[in-house]
Each structure stands twice: as structure tokens, then as C-alpha cells.
């Protein structure tokens, strides 16, 4: 009987040996321990969680931060997300913490694919993101309603003016055909680009005023005016863009001269960028004397409120790229200043049609100013329509002209009315109380049956399970709070740096917008403010000249 039992045991052991060898071989092949290979009985979530860098609560806090940052127009980059994750690990593990790996962010995106995704961001200046808010938009459309709609201004007397730069070389990206195996294909073209400025003016009836082309230089070369198919005016400036003097000459010799005879209302309305390079005190005084009401857009809001920026210039830039690329391909040389006028005129005539100009005013909520905040895109993220995968080349072409990169961005809209989410202090759920009386010593006098010990053991196990549940709940709350403290600390450091730089740089309060909204620049109060600024500027210049003369006299006396 004993020999038979031993024989059966040996046979069973031999059956297990091949399985043991297979497990060891599998562990060796995949460089894993046998304990991990033989681990069974867990769900996929439990199994994957055990090998995560961050705890589930920490990941949830990080994902919430990614979403909130994107909603504020500050999407986080790969390096920023990894830095935040490493800070959480260091706060929890101390010196034992190891940074996240190269593929960790891919895993995070996979685990939370229903909450976050990757997109190419669209650059938006910080000042524009901060200034374009519902209050500024409401103020602007209030001005339009009073001075345009309620005043009964005819569409033929409503004008919008702005300037834009046009490079003399094509820097776009095209899909071309090359030999098999080619990694990078360069295309010959103008490598050195010079930017030439043009002032363009559109009218609400769909017409345009003759553009003004500004070259960099001291004198206008006669060759620059050849092939003037757009019937443009020409001038020069030291830097190649507009200034106060050019703005005044444009108002007198271009705008007033072109529109004076066709006025159909009591006054003309000229809407322009509120930047003071477009106008001076003399500009505003001349406009007021000739019944021209000048409205200035809210600062840094033209990308959403100005029809030229929203519609016309986008189409014009695409047309200009085409004509420049065709010129370089057909002539085998770069675009010169003498060639610019013809190319610009061709693109201008193809872009500024009646339909396009009228669409520019309609896109910025004119003449319907009732649903102002609905018609204007206030969201700082400025989301575009989804781009199919096969059109990625077109997207890359546009991105090649910017310094943007890949970011994690939320699809939810966000405005300045929404407050920053406060810290969420989580408390443990309601759980059964722990019976701590079992911890006390039991009286051992007398005989105790085995059943009593078994019952007591079951009670201890039950209470131990309850205590474990309590500990896990409190640990989860502490994990979430610790992650929030780390993220808030990093955010405060970032804000401290911004405030330090902001305080170190003295701001130039040279604008005329008092409350950050639009303004009637020909209003008497604003003109008086301009006069006061001009007088203050003149006094400072005289004081500076006086100090200079005093220093020179001292030097002469010491000599």
C-alpha cells in the first residue's frame, strides 16, 4: 500500500515537471519572474494597475489638470505632463522615486482615451486670449449698435481698415513626387524673405478702396510701380510698415479722397485696429473735421472681431502663396521688389470679391449685432473643424509657418466667465464601524472549546477586512489630496514667475482704451486725452534736452 502511494506521488510529480519547465522558460523568454507569469485570478484593470507608476487617484487628478489647462487655452505639452507626474512620484516616494518612462504618456492616453486626446494646437497670443472676453465683445457691439445701426449709417459708408505683411518668397509645403527611399526633399525658392506691408480697406457694401503698398526704403523706385493691376498707391518707410505719418497721409490722400464724393449718410464710419501706430492726434482731428467717425477695436481682439483678419486676409495669403510659387517655378528665380506689385495685384483681385468682403462683415456679426457673444468665437482654444487623416499634409503646411507643436487639448469650450475649479477635498465614504473590543485580551480562565476559537477567528477576520477597507479609503483620499497639493504648488511657482516678470517690466500705457473695450476714437474726451499725452511727451522731451544741455555746460566748465 505504501509503495503504491509513493508510486502515485512520483507519477503526479513527473506530470507537474513539464509544466514547471514551461513556466520557467516563458519567464526567461520574456524576462519576467515566474510569480508574475503564474499570477491568475485578477481582472485586467487590477493587473495593469499593479504595474502603474502613478496610483489611480493620482492619475485621475493629473487627467483633470490636463483637461482644465486646455480649457483655459494653456494646453500641456508632453514634457510638462511628465514633469508633473515625476513631481507627484517624488512627493510620495522621496529619493526612491524613478521618473516615468518614454512610453508612459502613451499608456496614460490609452487608459483615458475617452477623456483626453492629442491635437495640433493653434497658436494664440496670451494677450489675445485674455482680452477676448464676453465683456469686451459686448462693449464692442454696443458701440456698433449706437454709432452704426441706430445711427442709420448706410452700408456704403462703413469701412474697415488694417495692414498685413506679405513675404516675397514662398515658404509653404507641397506634396511632391521623388525617387523611392528619399527621406527629405528640399525645394528651391526664395530663402531670404523681405516683408512688404499693404494697407487694405473694405466696405460693408462689398467694395474696396485702392490699397496702399509700403516698401522699406527712403524713396519709391519707379520699377516698384510696374504692372499695377490692383491700382494701388505706393509709399516708403524706414522700417517697412505703417506709422503715424503714413496713417495721416493715408486718411487724407487715400481714404477721404476716395470716399468723399460717394457718401450717402451724414457721416462715414471707419473701423480700425486700436493700435496707436495707425493714428495720431492729427489723424483724429482731421477725421472729426471731415465727419469721419473712427471706431477702434478692443485691444488684441481683431483676430475674432475684424472681418479682414477673420476672412479676407486668410484667403489673400493663400492666393498670394500660389502666385509666388508659380512665379518662382516659371521664372526660376526669386521674387524681386519690381515683381511684387503685379503678384500682389493678382492675388488681391482674386481674393477681394464682393461676396468675400460682405462675408467678412457677416462673419463678425454685422449687420446683426443682437447675438454678439454667440456669433464671435470667444473660446481661447479656437477649435477648428476636424481634419481627416489624409489631409494631414495641408495641416502640416499651415503648421510649418508657426512654432506650435502637439498638445493634449479638451473639446469643451471655456470662457472667462467660468471660474477656476477649486480644490476638491474628498472624505471617506460611510463604512461600517470597526469593533475594537476584539483587540482587548479575553479572560483565559476555564476551558475554551475549539468552536469558540473558530468563531472568534471569524470575527477577527471580518473586523480586519473592515479595518482594511477603512485604511484603503483614507489612503485614497490622502493620495488625491497629496496630488492636488503638488499640482497647486507647481502652479503657484509658475504664477510667481509670471508676476515677477510682469512687475519687473514697466508697462507702456500709451493706448486710449480705458476699460479694455472698443472706443470711439473721434470722441472729444479721447482727443483731449491724446492732447494731454502729446503735451506730456513734449514736456519730457524738453526736460531731457535741458538735462543734456546742463551736462554739456558742466563738461565745458570742468575742461
**Model confidence at 14, in pLDDT bands (50, 70, 90)?**
low
- The answer to whether the CB of 125 falls within 8 A of the CB of 103 is no
Q: Which residue has the higher pLDDT, 63 or 497?
A: 63
Please give the share of the chain, as a percent, with pLDDT higher than 70: 64
**Residue range(s) defining the domain that contains residue 56:** 45-124+406-416+423-433+471-491
For residue 297, tell me if it sits in a domain: yes
Residue 428 has pLDDT above 70, yes or no: no
pLDDT tens profile 259-295? 998 888 888 999 888 666 667 888 989 999 999 999 8
On whether both 306 and 369 belong to a single domain, the answer is yes
On whether both 135 and 235 belong to a single domain, the answer is yes
CA distance 298 to 488: 33
Q: How many folded domains does the chain comprise?
A: 4
Q: Which residue has the higher pLDDT, 83 or 51?
A: 83
Nearest residue to 380 via CA among 303, 281, 295: 303
On whether both 265 and 160 belong to a single domain, the answer is yes
For residue 310, tell me if it sits in a domain: yes
3-state secondary structure 107-124: HHHHHCCCCCCEEECCCC
pLDDT tens profile 83-124? 888 988 888 888 888 899 889 999 899 998 888 888 776 555
For residue 270, tell me if it sits in a domain: yes
- Kind of pairing, strands 158-167 and 195-203? antiparallel
Mean pLDDT across 355-364: 87
Nearest residue to 88 via CA among 497, 498, 481: 481
Give the pLDDT confidence score for residue 139 in this predicted structure.
Answer: 76
On whether both 53 and 139 belong to a single domain, the answer is no
For residue 384, tell me if it sits in a domain: no
On whether both 302 and 348 belong to a single domain, the answer is yes
On whether both 105 and 86 belong to a single domain, the answer is yes
Cite the DSSP H helix spans in 332-449. Answer: 337-351, 354-363, 372-375, 392-399
Mean pLDDT across 77-88: 88
On whether both 323 and 339 belong to a single domain, the answer is yes
Assess whether the previous peptide bond of 367 is cis (omega < 30° from 0): yes
Residue 389 has pLDDT above 70, yes or no: no
On whether both 25 and 65 belong to a single domain, the answer is no
Residue 187 has pLDDT above 70, yes or no: no
Reported as type and span, the H/E element at residue 165 is strand 158-167
Name the DSSP class of 52: -
On whether both 355 and 267 belong to a single domain, the answer is yes
Instruction: Sheet with 195-203: list strands edge to edge.
Output: 233-237, 208-216, 195-203, 158-167, 268-272, 292-296, 519-520
On whether both 102 and 148 belong to a single domain, the answer is no
On whether both 66 and 158 belong to a single domain, the answer is no
Give the CATH number of the domain where residue 144 resides.
3.30.420.10
Give the pLDDT confidence score for residue 200 in this predicted structure.
Answer: 94
For residue 181, tell me if it sits in a domain: no
Is the dihedral angle over the CA atoms 52, 56, 61, 66 positive or is it negative? positive
Give the pLDDT confidence score for residue 73 in this predicted structure.
Answer: 65
Q: Which residue has the higher pLDDT, 521 or 186?
A: 521
On whether both 197 and 330 belong to a single domain, the answer is yes
pLDDT tens profile 521-555? 878 887 888 888 888 888 898 999 999 888 888 88
For residue 335, tell me if it sits in a domain: yes
For residue 456, tell me if it sits in a domain: no
Q: Which three cell numbers stand for residue 89?
A: 512620484
For residue 458, tell me if it sits in a domain: no
Give the pLDDT confidence score for residue 227 in this predicted structure.
Answer: 93
Nearest residue to 378 via CA among 78, 118, 134: 134
Q: What is the mean pLDDT of the chain?
A: 74
Amino acid at each position: 500500500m505504501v509503495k503504491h502511494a509513493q508510486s502515485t506521488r512520483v507519477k503526479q510529480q513527473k506530470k507537474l515537471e513539464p509544466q514547471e519547465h514551461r513556466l520557467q522558460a516563458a519567464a526567461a523568454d520574456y524576462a519576467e519572474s515566474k510569480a508574475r507569469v503564474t499570477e491568475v485570478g485578477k481582472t485586467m484593470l487590477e493587473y495593469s494597475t499593479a504595474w502603474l507608476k502613478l496610483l489611480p487617484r493620482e492619475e485621475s487628478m493629473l487627467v483633470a489638470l490636463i483637461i482644465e489647462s486646455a480649457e483655459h487655452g494653456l494646453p500641456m505639452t508632453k514634457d510638462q505632463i511628465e514633469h508633473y507626474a515625476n513631481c507627484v512620484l517624488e512627493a510620495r516616494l522621496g529619493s526612491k522615486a524613478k521618473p516615468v518612462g518614454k512610453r508612459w504618456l502613451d499608456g496614460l492616453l490609452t487608459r483615458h482615451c475617452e477623456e483626453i486626446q492629442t491635437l495640433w494646437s493653434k497658436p494664440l497670443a496670451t494677450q489675445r486670449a485674455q482680452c477676448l472676453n464676453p465683456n469686451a465683445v459686448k462693449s464692442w457691439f454696443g458701440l456698433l449698435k449706437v454709432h452704426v445701426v441706430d445711427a442709420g449709417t448706410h452700408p456704403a459708408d462703413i469701412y474697415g481698415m488694417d495692414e498685413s505683411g506679405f513675404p516675397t518668397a514662398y515658404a509653404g509645403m507641397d506634396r511632391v513626387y521623388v525617387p523611392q527611399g528619399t527621406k527629405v526633399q528640399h525645394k528651391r525658392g526664395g530663402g531670404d524673405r523681405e516683408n512688404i506691408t499693404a494697407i487694405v480697406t473694405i466696405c460693408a457694401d462689398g467694395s474696396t478702396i485702392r490699397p496702399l503698398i509700403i516698401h522699406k526704403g527712403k524713396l519709391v523706385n519707379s520699377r516698384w510701380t510696374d504692372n499695377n493691376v490692383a491700382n494701388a498707391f505706393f509709399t516708403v518707410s524706414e522700417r517697412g510698415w505703417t506709422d503715424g505719418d503714413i496713417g495721416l497721409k493715408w486718411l487724407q490722400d487715400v481714404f477721404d479722397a476716395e470716399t468723399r464724393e460717394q457718401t450717402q449718410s451724414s457721416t462715414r464710419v471707419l473701423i480700425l485696429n486700436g493700435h496707436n501706430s495707425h493714428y495720431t492726434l492729427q489723424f483724429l482731428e482731421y477725421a472729426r473735421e471731415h465727419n469721419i467717425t473712427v471706431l477702434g477695436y478692443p485691444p488684441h481682439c481683431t483676430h475674432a472681431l475684424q472681418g479682414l483678419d477673420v476672412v479676407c486676409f486668410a484667403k489673400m495669403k493663400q492666393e498670394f502663396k500660389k502666385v509666388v510659387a508659380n512665379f518662382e517655378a516659371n521664372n526660376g528665380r526669386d521674387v524681386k521688389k519690381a515683381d511684387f506689385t503685379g503678384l500682389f495685384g493678382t492675388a488681391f483681385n482674386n481674393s477681394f470679391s464682393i461676396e468675400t468682403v460682405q462675408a467678412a462683415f457677416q462673419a463678425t456679426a454685422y449687420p446683426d449685432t443682437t447675438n454678439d457673444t454667440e456669433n464671435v468665437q470667444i473660446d481661447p482654444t479656437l477649435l477648428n473643424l476636424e481634419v481627416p487623416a489624409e489631409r494631414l499634409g495641408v495641416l502640416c503646411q499651415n503648421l510649418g509657418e508657426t512654432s506650435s507643436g502637439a498638445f493634449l487639448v479638451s473639446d469643451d469650450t471655456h470662457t472667462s466667465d467660468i471660474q477656476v475649479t477649486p480644490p476638491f477635498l474628498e472624505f471617506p465614504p460611510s463604512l461600517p464601524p470597526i469593533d475594537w473590543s476584539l483587540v482587548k485580551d479575553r479572560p483565559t480562565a476555564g476551558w475554551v472549546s475549539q468552536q469558540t476559537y473558530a468563531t472568534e477567528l471569524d470575527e477577527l477576520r471580518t473586523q480586519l477586512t473592515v479595518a482594511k477597507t477603512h485604511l484603503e479609503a483614507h489612503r485614497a483620499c490622502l493620495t488625491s489630496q497629496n496630488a492636488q497639493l503638488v499640482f497647486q504648488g507647481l502652479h503657484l511657482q509658475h504664477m510667481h514667475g509670471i508676476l515677477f516678470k510682469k512687475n519687473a517690466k514697466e508697462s507702456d500705457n500709451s493706448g486710449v482704451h480705458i476699460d479694455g473695450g472698443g472706443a470711439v476714437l473721434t470722441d472729444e474726451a479721447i482727443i483731449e486725452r491724446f492732447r494731454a499725452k502729446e503735451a506730456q511727451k513734449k514736456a519730457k522731451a524738453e526736460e531731457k534736452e535741458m538735462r543734456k544741455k546742463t551736462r554739456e555746460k558742466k563738461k565745458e566748465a570742468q575742461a
